[in-house]
Amino acid sequence: MSTEDEESALERVYAASSAEELAAAYAEWASEYDQDTARRGYCLPFMITAWVARYLPKGKGPLLDAGCGTGLSGPYLRALGYDAVEGFDFSDEMLAIAKRRNAYSELKQAVLGETLPWPDGYFAAFLSTGVFTEGHAPASSLEELARITRPGGHAIFTVRDTVLDQGGFRDVFEWLEKAERWKPVEESPLFRAFSVAEPEVLLKAFVFEIG
């Protein structure tokens, strides 16, 4: 895929105005996604493992990779000793690639913003990178992710700067805290999602402890 094609693929993803458009954009991009994002220096799937290691000791229970895409985080979580990692994504095409990595104990098709197919308090923690951004999962998804994470567990995720306030994420943070569903633990400074290209794509990492 040429640089121009890569830019078009990324633009289609960010410009998607419906779940159908987003699914179509990722279906088209799936086979080239890993190579394209690597050329841009996409670092989120690898950086997030540092926060996971900081807050979740090995062997404490299953870990969820929410919006796992092609499963880039999976092999690195396994290398760190997390052998009970489950994942989900809305894109069947992306999940097919994630499955080939043999790093997840289970993979499911599910959609952020809808009811997720796990019982209350199932996971010791969840991680999510790159999905809380323009044209993607709504802030309300966090309530459902908190539901399936056990008390004392952790929510570890990134949010793009352009949707943090405009997309209602701060409001959801506050609501969940007031409802005693979680409490804040860490908020990173802004940092780049891509180390090589797209210097304007900035985001923050957040960690909450589930109540």
Identify the residue with better confidence: 191 or 25. 191
- Residue 3, pLDDT > 80, answer no
Domains of the chain: 42-210 (3.40.50.150)
Q: In this predicted model, what pLDDT tens digit does every residue of 135-150 receive, in sequence order?
A: 889 999 999 999 999 9
Identify the residue with better confidence: 55 or 19. 55
- Residue 1, pLDDT > 50, answer no
Q: In this predicted model, what pLDDT tens digit does every residue of 97-121 receive, in sequence order?
A: 999 999 999 999 999 999 999 999 9
The whole-angstrom separation of Cα 182 and Cα 201 is 28
Nearest partner of 17 among 124, 185, 136, judged by Cα: 136
pLDDT score for 24:
73
What are the backbone angles phi and psi of residue 5, rounded to the nearest 5°?
-65, -40
pLDDT score for 17:
54
Instruction: Tell me if 6 sits within 8 A of 36, measured CB to CB.
Output: yes
Three-state secondary structure call for residue 106: strand
pLDDT score for 157:
98
Q: In this predicted model, what pLDDT tens digit does every residue of 68-93 receive, in sequence order?
A: 999 999 999 999 999 999 999 999 99
The whole-angstrom separation of Cα 160 and Cα 23 is 20
Helix axes 19-40, 3-15, angle to 10 degrees: 140
Entry pTM:
0.90
In order of 119, 130, 154, 201, the CA distances from 182 in angstroms are 18, 21, 9, 28
- Residue 2, pLDDT > 50, answer no
Nearest partner of 173 among 204, 202, 206, judged by Cα: 206
The whole-angstrom separation of Cα 79 and Cα 175 is 36
pLDDT score for 71:
97
The whole-angstrom separation of Cα 18 and Cα 104 is 28
Among 20-24, 189-193, 201-205, whose mean pLDDT is lowest? 20-24
The whole-angstrom separation of Cα 167 and Cα 121 is 26
